[in-house]
């Protein structure tokens, strides 16, 4: 099925480069010059990826990311003229899947888009689609991770929204519980051969996961930090 990518970018030149490179890769592209129409496009329900510029005339891209994350786990790539680490960290912390700094080559954006879309994501309702399959389920604490349905449910069976990066990281940790995993190993598990965004992205993603799993960041019981090592998933995992 043709993937639908929505671009929000006010610079007509950058917009044209994005439209051309994504169109050439066979995506259906919707372009917006500002954040004003994004909710309407999202309401169509068929958007697979949103590419957001940070500096927009009305609402900035970071705010739009936060707004979208309240109701959707759609893939989000932030594009910015500002390459500083703080912006990247904020962008990823609030739930963007990747961050690209301008100027970029068409090939770079094409690779990032492919990578983000390939990682797939947890989608509500996926569980039904997989009904009848032999599900791989892992229980820990009050949580159940279903790697077949790509879902994480609480004790009441309610799904918790995870971005693709969060899901991959959690899957890597849970399936290798009680082993120290280096940041490199976790980067590989999350991003495969795609160029890693930057080293700190694993730490940012672990921080988000701890928050969602209600793991106290100062004294974590589920995902522990190993000094100079990486991370260890230290909750007891029961395989269902
Ligand atoms: Ca701009």
In the reported structure, the alpha carbon of residue 23 is separated from the centroid of ligand 1 by a whole-number distance in angstroms of 21
Residue 47 alpha carbon to ligand 1 centre in Å? 21
Query: pLDDT tens digits for 55-103?
Result: 999 888 999 998 898 888 899 999 988 766 777 778 888 889 888 989 9
Choice between 19 and 125, residue whose per-residue pLDDT is larger: 19
CA of 100 to the centre of ligand 1 (A): 13
What is the CA(142)–ligand 1 centre distance, in A?
A: 43
Domains of the chain: 4-118 (3.40.50.2300), 133-239 (1.10.10.10)
pTM listed for this prediction: 0.57
How many angstroms does the Cα of residue 169 sit away from the middle of ligand 1? Answer: 31
- Strands 49-53, 4-8: pairing is parallel
Q: How far is the CA of 49 from the centre of ligand 1 (A)?
A: 18
């Amino acid at each position: 099925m043709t993937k639908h990518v929505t671009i929000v970018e006010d610079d007509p030149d950058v917009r044209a480069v994005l439209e051309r490179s994504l169109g050439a890769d066979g995506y259906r592209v919707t372009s917006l010059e500002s954040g004003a129409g994004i909710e309407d496009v999202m309401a169509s329900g068929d958007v697979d990826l949103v590419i957001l510029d940070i500096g927009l005339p009305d609402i900035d891209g970071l705010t739009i990311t936060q707004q979208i994350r309240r109701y959707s786990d759609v893939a989000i790539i932030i594009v910015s003229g500002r390459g500083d680490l703080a912006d990247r960290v904020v962008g990823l912390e609030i739930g963007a899947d990747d961050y690209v700094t301008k100027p970029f080559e068409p090939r770079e954006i094409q690779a990032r888009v492919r990578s983000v879309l390939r990682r797939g994501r947890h989608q509500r309702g996926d569980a039904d689609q997989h009904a009848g399959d032999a599900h791989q389920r892992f229980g820990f604490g009050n949580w159940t991770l279903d790697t077949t349905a790509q879902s994480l449910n609480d004790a009441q069976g309610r799904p918790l929204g995870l971005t693709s990066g969060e899901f991959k990281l959690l899957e890597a940790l849970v399936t290798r519980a009680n082993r120290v995993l280096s940041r490199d190993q976790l980067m590989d598990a999350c991003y495969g051969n795609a160029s890693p965004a930057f080293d700190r992205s694993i730490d940012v993603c672990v921080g988000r996961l701890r928050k969602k799993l209600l793991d106290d960041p100062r004294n974590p019981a589920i995902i522990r930090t190993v000094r100079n090592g990486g991370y260890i998933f230290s909750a007891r995992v029961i395989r269902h």
